[in-house]
């Protein structure tokens, strides 16, 4: 039932927003793959038919494929980058440089044709460059057929064999994957270790593997009665064909990646969530982790329902939480996470990766260029979800996030968020910028336009951009349309510069006729509207809102406390004077941003207090 609805909502959503974005287009890929896995030497062979639809207005003379597994070879860009960056990821370090030939990864193309014509191509590191015999004209479809051979590397980063927790196969970034071509052209980024951008399409994948292996994958299993292992209809008999291998057949509609994992010792549990989504859990039969993995199941459902409500309905029928990988990583309709964790950490990583089903998969921004959009938005929503689902009772679930950002902003190593994810000087700057500063982008937007407008913005962003590739501007335009405020300054300063926010109370002076004059100073370069709380000695409080002139707008009152809307503050003026209609002696405290949702890098000068 849900699956039928997906197609309809997808189409109606697409056309509705096509009216708002008349120039928007996206490429379409339809993959059919048959893969044969050898679990003795970790090599696999495959065929791939790729029907490529060029929806762009451009004629394409060449195409590119990602060959991610080639990164796991001594001397690869990923290896050298990891050995030359000042603070390498401890999972990688110099491990790639030490891989023997049988431990390395590779992905080799054995043949490639376009509509039956043989093509010439060149493997350049992790990218296959293909010259086309026949250019693909705008609106045209073409069919590529390929044969490939791969070797699964020893588990180092995201994918690989025999992880430290004993998972046999974490199969991510494992097949020749055509690069995205969008309004900015080709995105044939080499694989240096982080972030992706993929083409939307349908996947039909058959994987033959030793009969003893239990698998979890992107997509719906088409032959559960031949497979069993808990995929069969409850109480029915499984009819496995003869032979040493089983062929698992999956179909995944409208995704931009396909991942799987397999192990002979997986336990497979299923749980149908209240919204109809079937949750699959695959984890090692290890007595130390079993209880956590059982208790994780109702929490995963609660998280799913939280995201349904606060972002938009999860559109696929299935989601799998699978033990594998090297930490946690999001994929289409599934996540691979390490499983030997405390319960809180297990739920936390699941919350983060599940949130990526929206902010990465469904709302598929280019992660390489705008890593803060998926990592930051995911961090924001999963922090709020954890607070509720785990009953953490935090007043501000992002408190630590703000502290982390402030440390970065005052460290001297910060680079603008518009930096390509591979090009940060140090990993630490990337991490805090993408995750913490990205989360604050949303949280602080709630301060700028109000909580209700923020919630409406997120919901409308989902409605207009699901199954597409939104850009930062697409998001902020929705926030503008929802709220009515001008917000281009917010996007520009926060994401394209390292400008910081620092407002201060410079002076509180006795005014004429029993009034008080408060002088504020804008010390940081980034503009902001100012929320002020004034507490009087008689215990009464009032709020003062100083609008930012360039927003051409006023935030609605956020609660029932008496609020005064003062004159607006134009950014170029470094100081601003406010008159309070009470004598200075009656004031107990004045606070800039009592909510602490504005990322002011020096909060010490935000408060005036007197006995």
Tracing tokens 């009969």 back to the chain, one arrives at: 211
Q: How far is the CB of 339 from Zn ion (least distance, A)?
A: 17
Q: How far is the CB of 436 from Zn ion (least distance, A)?
A: 12
DSSP state of 23: T
| Closest chain position to Zn ion (CB) | 375
- List residues bridging with 338 in a β-sheet: none
Q: How far is CA 308 from CA 14, 48, 50, 275, 305, in A?
A: 20, 34, 33, 9, 5
Q: How far is the CB of 550 from Zn ion (least distance, A)?
A: 33
Q: How many residues interact with Zn ion (rule CB under 5 A)?
A: 1
Mask for 357-396, x = binds Zn ion (CB under 5 A): ------------------x---------------------
Q: How far is the CB of 500 from Zn ion (least distance, A)?
A: 25
What are residue 449's phi and psi, to 5 degrees? Answer: -110, -5
C-alpha torsion angle, residues 26, 220, 344, 329 (rounded to 10): -40
Whichever of 79 and 375 has its CB closer to Zn ion, that residue is: 375
Whichever of 352 and 555 has its CB closer to Zn ion, that residue is: 352
| Tokens at 479, concatenated | 């926030």
Q: What is the secondary structure of 115-146 as a DSSP string?
A: TTEE-EEEEETTEEEEEEEEEE-TT-EEEEEE
Write out the E strands in 357-480: none
Whichever of 73 and 170 has its CB closer to Zn ion, that residue is: 170
Whichever of 65 and 314 has its CB closer to Zn ion, that residue is: 314
Mask for 227-256, x = binds Zn ion (CB under 5 A): ------------------------------
DSSP state of 548: B
Q: How far is CA 591 from CA 377, 567, 599, in A?
A: 28, 18, 14
Whichever of 161 and 437 has its CB closer to Zn ion, that residue is: 437
Whichever of 266 and 331 has its CB closer to Zn ion, that residue is: 331
Whichever of 195 and 464 has its CB closer to Zn ion, that residue is: 195
Q: How far is the CB of 26 from Zn ion (least distance, A)?
A: 23
Mask for 317-356, x = binds Zn ion (CB under 5 A): ----------------------------------------
Pairwise CA distance, residues 380 & 352, whole Å:
9
Q: How far is the CB of 465 from Zn ion (least distance, A)?
A: 18
Whichever of 361 and 555 has its CB closer to Zn ion, that residue is: 361
- In Å, how far from its chain's centre is CA 15? 25
Q: How far is CA 528 from CA 152, 373, 409, 442, 525, in A?
A: 50, 21, 17, 14, 10
Q: Could you give the angle at which helices 2-20 and 451-465 cross, rounded to 10 degrees?
A: 100
Pairwise CA distance, residues 487 & 466, whole Å:
22
**Alpha helices (runs of H) in 145-205, residue ranges in sequence order:** none
What are residue 225's phi and psi, to 5 degrees? Answer: -75, -20
Whichever of 208 and 382 has its CB closer to Zn ion, that residue is: 382
Q: How far is the CB of 356 from Zn ion (least distance, A)?
A: 6
Whichever of 208 and 379 has its CB closer to Zn ion, that residue is: 379
Q: How many residues does the chain have?
A: 611
Whichever of 326 and 375 has its CB closer to Zn ion, that residue is: 375
Pairwise CA distance, residues 211 & 604, whole Å:
64
Mask for 58-87, x = binds Zn ion (CB under 5 A): ------------------------------
Q: How far is the CB of 189 from Zn ion (least distance, A)?
A: 18
Q: How far is the CB of 112 from Zn ion (least distance, A)?
A: 33
- Identify whether the C-beta of residue 169 lies closer than 8 Å to the C-beta of residue 322: no
Whichever of 158 and 555 has its CB closer to Zn ion, that residue is: 158
Rg of the chain over all Cα atoms, to the nearest angstrom? 27
Pairwise CA distance, residues 337 & 328, whole Å:
4
Pairwise CA distance, residues 233 & 225, whole Å:
7
Q: How far is the CB of 562 from Zn ion (least distance, A)?
A: 42
Q: How far is the CB of 115 from Zn ion (least distance, A)?
A: 39
Q: How far is the CB of 571 from Zn ion (least distance, A)?
A: 34
Whichever of 301 and 375 has its CB closer to Zn ion, that residue is: 375
Pairwise CA distance, residues 1 & 279, whole Å:
16
**Alpha helices (runs of H) in 311-398, residue ranges in sequence order:** 343-355, 371-389
Q: How far is the CB of 379 from Zn ion (least distance, A)?
A: 7
Q: Which residues, at least 6 apart from 328, have a Cβ–Cβ distance to it below 8 Å? A: 335, 336, 337, 338, 349, 350, 352, 353
Positions touching Zn ion (CB under 5 A) are 375
């Amino acid at each position: 039932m849900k699956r039928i609805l997906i197609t309809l909502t997808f189409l109606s959503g697409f056309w509705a927003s096509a009216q708002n974005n008349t120039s928007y287009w996206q490429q379409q890929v339809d993959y059919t793959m048959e893969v044969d896995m050898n679990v003795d030497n970790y090599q696999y062979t495959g065929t791939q038919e790729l029907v490529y639809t060029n929806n762009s207005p451009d004629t394409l003379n060449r195409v590119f494929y990602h060959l991610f597994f080639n990164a796991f070879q001594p001397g690869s860009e990923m290896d050298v980058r990891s050995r030359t960056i000042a603070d390498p990821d401890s999972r990688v370090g110099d491990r790639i440089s030490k891989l023997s030939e049988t431990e390395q990864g590779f992905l080799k193309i054995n043949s490639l044709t376009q509509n039956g014509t043989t093509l010439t191509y060149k493997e350049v590191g992790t990218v296959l460059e293909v010259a086309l015999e026949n250019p693909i004209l705008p609106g045209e479809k073409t069919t590529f057929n390929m044969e490939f051979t791969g070797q699964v590397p020893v588990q180092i980063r995201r994918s690989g064999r025999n992880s430290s927790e004993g998972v046999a196969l974490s199969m991510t970034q494992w097949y020749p994957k055509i690069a995205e071509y969008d309004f900015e052209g080709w995105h044939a980024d080499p694989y240096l270790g982080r972030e992706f951008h993929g083409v939307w399409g349908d996947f039909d994948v058959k994987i033959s593997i030793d009969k003893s292996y239990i698998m979890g994958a992107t997509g719906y299993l088409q032959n559960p009665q031949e497979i069993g292992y808990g995929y069969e209809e409850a109480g029915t008999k499984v009819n496995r064909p003869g032979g040493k291998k089983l062929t698992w057949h999956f179909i995944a509609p409208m995704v931009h990646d396909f991942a799987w994992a397999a192990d002979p010792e997986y336990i497979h549990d299923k749980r149908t969530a209240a919204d109809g989504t079937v949750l699959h859990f695959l984890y090692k039969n290890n007595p130390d982790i079993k209880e956590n993995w059982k208790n994780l199941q109702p929490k995963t459902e609660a998280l799913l329902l939280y995201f349904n409500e606060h972002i938009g309905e999860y559109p696929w029928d299935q989601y799998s939480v699978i033990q594998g990988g090297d930490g946690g990583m999001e994929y289409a309709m599934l996540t691979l996470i390490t499983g030997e964790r405390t319960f809180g950490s297990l739920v936390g990583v699941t919350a983060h990766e599940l949130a990526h089903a929206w902010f990465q998969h469904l709302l598929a921004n280019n992660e390489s260029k705008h890593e803060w959009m998926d990592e930051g938005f995911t961090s924001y929503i999963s922090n709020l979800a954890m607070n509720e689902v785990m009953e953490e009772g935090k007043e501000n679930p992002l408190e630590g996030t703000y502290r982390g950002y402030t440390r970065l902003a005052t460290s001297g190593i910060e680079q603008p968020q518009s930096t390509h994810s591979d090009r940060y000087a140090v990993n630490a700057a990337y991490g805090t910028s993408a995750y913490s500063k990205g989360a604050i982008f949303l949280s602080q937007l709630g301060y700028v336009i109000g909580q209700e407008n923020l919630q409406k913005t997120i919901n409308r962003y989902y409605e207009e951009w699901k199954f597409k590739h939104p850009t930062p501007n697409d998001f902020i335009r929705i926030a503008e349309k929802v709220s009515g405020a001008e917000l281009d300054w917010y996007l520009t300063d926060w994401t394209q510069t390292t400008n910081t926010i620092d407002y201060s109370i410079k002076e509180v002076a006795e005014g004429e006729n029993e009034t008080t004059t408060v002088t504020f100073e804008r010390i940081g370069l980034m503009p902001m509207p100012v929320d002020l709380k004034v507490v009087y000695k008689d215990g009464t409080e009032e709020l003062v809102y100083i609008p930012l002139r360039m927003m051409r707008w006023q935030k609605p009152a956020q609660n029932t406390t008496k609020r005064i809307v003062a004159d607006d503050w134009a950014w170029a003026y470094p100081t601003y004077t406010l008159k309070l209609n009470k004598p200075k002696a009656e004031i107990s405290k004045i606070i800039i941003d009592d909510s602490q949702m504005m990322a002011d890098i020096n909060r010490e000068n935000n408060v005036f207090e007197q006995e």
